[in-house]
Amino acid sequence: MKIINFGSMNIDRVYDVAQMVAPGETISAGGLHIYAGGKGLNQSVAAARAGAQVIHAGAVGPEGGFLVDALTQSGADAGHLLRPETETGHAVIQINSAGQNAIIVYGGANQCLDEAYIDKMLALGDVGDLVLLQNETSGTAEIIRRAHEKGLTVVFNPSPFPAEPLPYELVDLFIVNEIEGALLAELPLDTQPETILNAIGERFPNAWVVLTLGGSGVVCRKGGETFAHPIFKVTAVDTTAAGDTFCGYFLAGLCLQKDIPQCLKEASAASAIAVSRQGAVPSIPTRAEVEEFLAERK
Ligand code: RIB
């Protein structure tokens, strides 16, 4: 089982700030860092570092070579990328002194994924393979429809949450945080996790759900079964890509035939390590680092 990930590739421009800038305010940044990022790229790197076979489907412009290198160095297959003469996608990220972030993404080349490319990439899939997507590229609805038609398993991380309706009924697995989960369930943002899980289950009875809960860990509902895992407590340096790391490790665990509790445990550990480090791609641990982290906590 492999992962074909239709995912954004961004140049992350990260600014260290004491507090997030407020409307009408101008502030000075204490530092600027440039990292490889993008939700899709981060998830591919995480899944590949975790040991899964990953093909990344995406696009970068002329100045995005180091994003391609980041994929390749992780072990993901970056051999099918589009290389348009369009500016590479980028993100402007503020990191405050508590390690929290605020992110603006500019799509750029990520918006160049068209139907012909989607079909070409899906043709690489075999029945049972996972097709992963987020919501930072063009073609989201087409990817879901065509992957489903081909009998591939559709995994959707709806981030940023889509403004337009999508064929959610064709999704096999949702990976959402509490806000995305509430929006998917069409419930108020302060809805309790159990209610969110129940509502998603009623709306999409064929799908299973992984609901990440920040400091409260993660719950997963598949069929009638619910699994949970707490967070591993670490000092937060930068939460950027922690969710992506979780997602990549969780799916890699599935590809490697691990059971759900083990997938949740390894993904939670990987995510905790990512939180304790700066940047997107540089923060994503290798499988050896995750195993060492878990061994220290036995
Ligand atoms: O999830 C973190 C990512 O969101 C960043 O790397 C940034 O590029 C945005 O896509």
pLDDT digits (tens, 9 = 90+) for 210-267: 999 999 999 999 998 999 999 999 999 999 999 999 999 999 999 999 999 999 999 9
Contact 49, 75 (CB under 8 A): yes
Q: What is the DSSP letter of 138?
A: S
pLDDT digits (tens, 9 = 90+) for 38-79: 999 999 999 999 999 999 999 999 999 999 999 999 999 999
SS3 content of the chain, % helix, strand, coil (to 5): 35, 20, 40
Is the CB–ligand 1 distance for residue 8 below 6 Å? yes
Reported confidence tier of residue 99, pLDDT bands at 50, 70, 90 = confident
Active site residues: 244
Distance (Å, rounded) from C-alpha 173 to C-alpha 155?
Answer: 5
Distance (Å, rounded) from C-alpha 178 to C-alpha 182?
Answer: 6
Reported confidence tier of residue 143, pLDDT bands at 50, 70, 90 = very high
d(CA 12, ligand 1 centre) in Å: 7
Distance (Å, rounded) from C-alpha 135 to C-alpha 120?
Answer: 20
Q: Which of 95, 105, 247 to mutate to test the pocket of ligand 1 (most atoms within 8 A of CB)?
A: 105
Phi, psi of 11 (to 5 degrees): -85, 115
d(CA 135, ligand 1 centre) in Å: 11
| pLDDT, position 225 | 95
Phi, psi of 55 (to 5 degrees): -110, 125
Is the CB–ligand 1 distance for residue 12 below 6 Å? yes
pLDDT digits (tens, 9 = 90+) for 1-50: 999 999 999 999 999 999 999 999 999 999 999 999 999 999 999 999 99
| pLDDT, position 78 | 98
| pLDDT, position 142 | 98
For residue 42, give the ligand 1 atom closest to its CA. 6
For 226, residues 6+ apart whose C-beta sits below 8 A from its C-beta are 197, 219, 220
Considering only CA atoms, which of 217, 170, 169, 162 is closest in space to residue 193?
Answer: 217
